[in-house]
């Protein structure tokens, strides 16, 4: 996982917009958020998170078959963030694409990564959730700017024959709610223009109450449904890692599922809503805190703009003690990343020289 160093507390926000620490805490549970600074972007955070995942899994970037980046805030409309990650890792064998299901993107991407392995087509799939929503919020709009933070989280999926791993997946969408959470301009419907910028149409707009209602219903329903598909009753789920949007949403879901809040991973007080990054960041922190152990049934569940929702039920199989790379392998990967940078520049230079030679040959041919 990766989160920016720059922290913005509720108190900091109260100095720039008409809000208070008390309001934000009681309505959302959020206390602070990490905000991308100069030089930080969705791709840069995704690359850092991917390198951390490769370190923990002790894997070689050249063995990755597929990279999926779940994001709705890519660095560019094109190329994809996944291609930027592929280039920085030197993942020379990998296909790469972005997947946009807003805050559900990571769980969607995890389900897709699982299918890619289950099809027999791929053996090692890198799945990343990364977003920089703070670049798309209106910092004068107190109803949205207090909610979001930035970050990235990544996991590596590996083909195994064992009984553990992903047990069931669930994907859902309801486009009729598309207007409830939307960035109106910047796409093909409303390309950037002086007018669109003046009207602030590049900022995120949200109907908070409607989204809240959708989220409270969806979180519990999706968890219940994916558990059922995995052959589990809700009380057989050891840990639920939900999208970190609002503590009240998680508390309501816990009540509906008749499960104690302790069964849920909650870290939104530190990060706010990091969109696609929230579930993988919570997964990493739960792992580091020793809350995840082999044999446990875990449900990851996301919801967001679209409207979209997704859930994955899995049986954890890796012992945390195994998740350490020997030092020489860490150095080896460091060398591979340096080489990836050199290789990328060499390829760019070769392209420039080739174009130059072709132009020269054409000019000589015309004489
Ligand atoms: N500080 C102080 N007051 C605020 C405020 C803020 N940051 N944001 C809104 N308010 C005000 C409103 O203007 C309103 O004032 P009014 O009664 O004078 O009109 C009042 O607080 C209540 O607003 P309301 O929207 O009803 O608050 P709420 O209890 O529904 O909480 C959210 C607002 C945004 C926290 C809540 O709706 C929510 O969490 N929705 C889901 C958002 C979400 O998760 N989005 C991402 C999904 S992936």
Residue spans of the domains in the chain: they are 7-322
- Does the beta carbon of 177 lie inside 6 Å of ligand 1? no
In which order are the strands placed within the sheet that holds 308-315? 165-173, 308-315, 297-304, 239-242
Q: Report the residue among 178, 222, 246, 272 best suited for mutation to probe ligand 1: largest number of ligand atoms under 8 A from its CB.
A: 246
Indicate the burial class of 245 (C-beta count within 10 angstroms; 0-12, 13-18, 19 or more): buried
DSSP state of 310: E
Whose structure tokens read 């299901």? 101
Strand-strand pairing, 308-315 and 239-242: unpaired
* E-only strand ranges, the chain: 7-9, 32-34, 66-70, 95-99, 124-132, 150-158, 165-173, 181-182, 205-206, 239-242, 297-304, 308-315
317 neighbors 165 (Cβ within 8 angstroms): yes
CATH class of the domain comprising 7-322: alpha beta
User: How far is residue 85's CA from residue 158's CA, in Å, rounded to a whole number?
Assistant: 19
- pLDDT at res. 226: 98
- pLDDT at res. 332: 93
Which atom of ligand 1 is closest in space to residue 305's alpha carbon? 48
- Does the beta carbon of 16 lie inside 6 Å of ligand 1? no
What separation in angstroms does the CA of 188 have from each of 74, 91, 185, 191?
16, 31, 8, 5
What separation in angstroms does the CA of 50 have from each of 46, 59, 85, 236, 320?
6, 11, 8, 31, 18
CA 145 to chain centre: 19
- pLDDT at res. 320: 61
Q: Report the residue among 12, 19, 27, 302 best suited for mutation to probe ligand 1: largest number of ligand atoms under 8 A from its CB.
A: 27
174 neighbors 217 (Cβ within 8 angstroms): no
- Does the beta carbon of 214 lie inside 6 Å of ligand 1? no
- Does the beta carbon of 344 lie inside 6 Å of ligand 1? no
SS3 content of the chain, % helix, strand, coil (to 5): 50, 20, 35
Q: What six digits make up the tokens of 126? A: 């890198």
Whose structure tokens read 């329903």? 221
CA of 243 to the centre of ligand 1 (A): 18
69 pairs with which residues across the strands?
A: 98, 128
User: How far is residue 322's CA from residue 295's CA, in Å, rounded to a whole number?
Assistant: 15
- pLDDT at res. 323: 58
CA of 143 to the centre of ligand 1 (A): 5
The residues, any chain, with a CB within 8 Å of residue 243's CB and separated by 6 or more, are 103, 104, 107, 219, 273, 278, 279, 301, 302, 303, 304
pLDDT tens-digit profile, the chain (367 residues): 999 999 999 999 999 999 999 999 999 999 999 999 999 999 999 999 999 999 999 999 999 999 999 999 999 999 999 999 999 999 999 999 999 999 999 999 999 999 999 999 999 999 999 999 999 999 999 999 999 999 999 999 999 887 779 999 999 999 999 999 999 999 999 999 999 999 999 999 999 999 999 999 999 999 999 999 999 999 999 999 999 999 999 999 999 999 999 999 999 999 999 999 999 999 999 999 999 999 999 999 999 999 999 999 999 987 765 556 788 988 999 999 999 999 999 999 999 999 999 999 999 987 7
What is the SS3 assignment for 66-83? EEEEECCCCCCCCCCHHH
pTM listed for this prediction:
0.95
**Which residue has a Cα nearest atom 2 of ligand 1?**
19
Alpha helix positions (H), 130-273 = 142-145, 194-198, 208-229, 247-257, 268-271
Closest CA to 16 of 134, 150, 132, 139: 139
Helices then strands, each counted (H, E), the chain:
12, 12
CA of 216 to the centre of ligand 1 (A): 15
Give SS3 for 88: helix
CA of 209 to the centre of ligand 1 (A): 7
Closest CA to 106 of 125, 128, 86: 128
- pLDDT at res. 326: 83
- Does the beta carbon of 276 lie inside 6 Å of ligand 1? no
């Amino acid at each position: 996982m990766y989160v920016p160093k720059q922290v913005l507390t509720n108190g900091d926000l109260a100095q720039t917009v008409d809000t208070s620490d008390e309001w934000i805490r009681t309505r959302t549970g959020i206390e602070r958020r990490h905000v991308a600074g100069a030089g930080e972007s969705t791709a840069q955070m995704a690359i850092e998170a991917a390198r951390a995942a490769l370190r923990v899994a002790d894997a070689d970037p050249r063995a990755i078959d597929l990279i999926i980046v779940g994001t709705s805030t890519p660095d560019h409309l094109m190329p994809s963030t996944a291609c930027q990650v592929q280039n920085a890792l030197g993942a020379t064998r990998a296909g790469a694409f972005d997947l946009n299901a807003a805050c559900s993107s990571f769980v969607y991407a995890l389900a897709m990564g699982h299918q890619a392995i289950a099809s027999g087509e791929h053996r090692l799939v890198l799945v990343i959730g990364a977003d920089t929503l703070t670049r798309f919020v209106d910092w004068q709009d107190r109803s949205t700017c207090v909610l979001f933070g930035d970050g990235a989280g990544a996991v590596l999926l590996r083909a195994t024959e064992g009984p553990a791993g992903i047990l069931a997946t669930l994907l859902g969408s309801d486009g009729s709610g598309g207007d409830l959470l939307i960035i109106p301009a910047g796409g093909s419907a409303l390309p950037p223009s002086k007018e669109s910028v003046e009207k602030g149409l590049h900022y995120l707009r949200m109907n908070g109450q409607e989204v809240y209602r959708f989220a409270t219903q969806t979180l519990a329903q999706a968890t219940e449904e994916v558990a059922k598909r995995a052959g589990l009753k809700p009380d057989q789920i050891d840990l639920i890692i939900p999208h970190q949007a609002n503590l009240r949403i998680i508390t309501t879901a816990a009540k509906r599922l008749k499960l104690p809040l302790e069964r849920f991973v909650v870290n939104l007080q530190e990060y706010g809503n990091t969109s696609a990054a929230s579930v993988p960041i919570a997964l990493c922190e739960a792992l580091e805190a020793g809350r995840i152990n082999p044999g446990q049934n875990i449900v990851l569940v996301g919801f967001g703009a679209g409207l979209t929702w997704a859930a994955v039920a899995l049986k954890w199989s890796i012992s945390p003690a195994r998740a350490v790379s020997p030092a020489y392998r860490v150095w080896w990967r460091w060398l591979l990343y340096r080489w990836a940078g050199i290789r990328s520049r060499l390829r760019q230079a070769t392209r420039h020289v080739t174009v130059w030679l072709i132009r020269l040959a054409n000019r000589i041919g015309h004489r």
